[in-house]
Amino acid sequence: MVEFMGVSILIVDDLAFVRMMIKDILMKHGFTECYEAANGIEALKKYNEIKPTIVLLDITMPILNGIETLQRLMLVDPHAKVVMCSALGQQKLIVSAIRLGAKDFIVKPFKEDRLISAIKKAIEK
C-alpha cells in the first residue's frame, strides 16, 4: 500500500458512476489521491491545478473527447502519463492515442487487476 503514497490520479469520464467505480477500486488498492473530471475541458483545468501522476482518460466524452484532450494535454506537458479507457471496438482510436503519447489503455468493462497493472506500468514509464 505504501508504494502508492504520493501518487495522484485524475479520473476523466463523463459518467459519474464510472468515476466512482474506478475511484473505489483505486482506494481499495491504496491510491488515496484521486481526483475527478467529467469532460476534457475540466480535465485540462484540473491537470494544470493538481499535476497528477497519472490520468485515466475516457475516449468517448462530450464537449472534448479523449483524443482531443490527450492532444492538448501533451502540448501542455509532453511527459504526462495517460492511460486511455475505451469501449470495445475502438481500436483505431486506441492506436491514435498511443501514437499521441498515451502510455497504455484499458478496455471497458475493465477488470480490476488490469486497471491496477496499467497504472503501475504507466508510473514506471
How do residues 34-66 score in pLDDT, each as one tens digit?
999 999 999 999 999 999 999 999 999 989 999
Cα 14-19-23 angle, rounded to 5 deg: 165
How do residues 77-90 score in pLDDT, each as one tens digit?
999 999 999 876 77
Classified by CATH at the fold level, domain 2-124 comes out as Rossmann fold (3.40.50)
Nearest to 83 by CA among 112, 53, 103, 64: 103
